[in-house]
Amino acid sequence: MANSASGDSVVDRVVRVIEAFPEGVTSLQLTELADRAGLPLSSAHRLVRQLSEHGLLDSGAGGTVRLGLRLWELVNRNSPTLALRQAAMPFMEDIQQVLNQNVNLAVLEGWEALFVERLSRRGSVANRARVAGRMPVHISSAGLALMSHQPREVQAEYLEQFQDPSGKVTAGVVRQLLADAAQQGYAQLAGVVDSDTWGIAVPVMNGKRRTVAALGVVVPLAEMRLQALVPALQTAARGIGRRLAE
């Protein structure tokens, strides 16, 4: 019993505390937090108090802990995706207006698509993508658009480790999906995420022709107007890319 019996640094612990919140949960009891972070109660208590003093956490009465508003502020002010989102926003609004559909913007994080921005259209179909939410590469058009335009070695590594938990999809099938998407310049998935929706996405390239994001829409399965959607998305994607290059 001394400086960390478990052999982890203070930084490790701070990270574990922040990571302890399950997706969508904003508030946790101290005991549960300690539990989830794998910390002794008294250590968790001390850490939470320290972080709260700085506003990274917000500990209310009775030991309830939330992420601090100050942390939210700092992260969103200096977000690594700030430039991307600012460049994309006007074009996403255009798409939303012109095509009258849900629009979303994703980046590749690990082997998943991480959605960084979304404009949803009231009355349109459900859009499963939440901002700051993730979707596996092989079951999201955004994921496929992103992966299909990654360098050869990245794709190889991805396919190498690929494994579908449900066992329905094989690496071979995904390879084909990626090949199609690469060849066509866009990715589409009909009825996969939701049985009555259709997702389509195109890559967004920066000045150096590196694919940095995917721009996509989710439309009702009935309205398959590829001819109208793809050119609009590609035009917008190019516009975003140009802004990023500036």
Partner DNA sequence: TGCCACCTTCCATTCAATGGTAGAACGTGT
Partner DNA sequence: ACACGTTCTACCATTGAATGGAAGGTGGCA
Positions that interact with a copy of itself (CB under 8 A): 9-12, 14-15, 18-19, 21-26, 47, 50-51, 54, 56, 58, 66-83, 90, 93, 107, 109, 114, 116, 122, 131-134
Choose the one of DNA, a copy of itself, none that binds residue 105, judging by a C-beta under 5 to 8 angstroms depending on kind: none
- The nearest distance, CB 209 to a copy of itself, in angstroms, is 19
Closer residue to a copy of itself, CB minimum distance, 98 or 179: 98
Closer residue to DNA, CB minimum distance, 11 or 222: 11
For 86-111, b/e burial (b = at least 16 CB within 10 A) is ebbeebbeebbeebebbbbbbbbeeb
Choose the one of DNA, a copy of itself, none that binds residue 70, judging by a C-beta under 5 to 8 angstroms depending on kind: a copy of itself
Closer residue to DNA, CB minimum distance, 10 or 132: 10
Please say whether the beta carbons of 218 and 125 come within 8 A: yes
CA atoms of 190 and 230, how far apart (whole Å): 15
Binding residues vs DNA (CB under 7 A): 1-7, 9-11, 13, 29-31, 39-43, 45-47, 49, 59, 62-64
Choose the one of a copy of itself, DNA, none that binds residue 41, judging by a C-beta under 5 to 8 angstroms depending on kind: DNA
Choose the one of a copy of itself, DNA, none that binds residue 170, judging by a C-beta under 5 to 8 angstroms depending on kind: none
Choose the one of a copy of itself, DNA, none that binds residue 66, judging by a C-beta under 5 to 8 angstroms depending on kind: a copy of itself
Choose the one of a copy of itself, DNA, none that binds residue 112, judging by a C-beta under 5 to 8 angstroms depending on kind: none
- The nearest distance, CB 153 to DNA, in angstroms, is 21
Closer residue to DNA, CB minimum distance, 46 or 130: 46
User: Which residues have CB under 8 Å from 95's CB, separation 6+?
Assistant: 101, 103, 119, 215, 217, 232, 233, 236
Closer residue to DNA, CB minimum distance, 29 or 176: 29
- The nearest distance, CB 19 to DNA, in angstroms, is 16
For 124-148, b/e burial (b = at least 16 CB within 10 A) is bbebbbeeebbbbbbbbbbbbbbbb
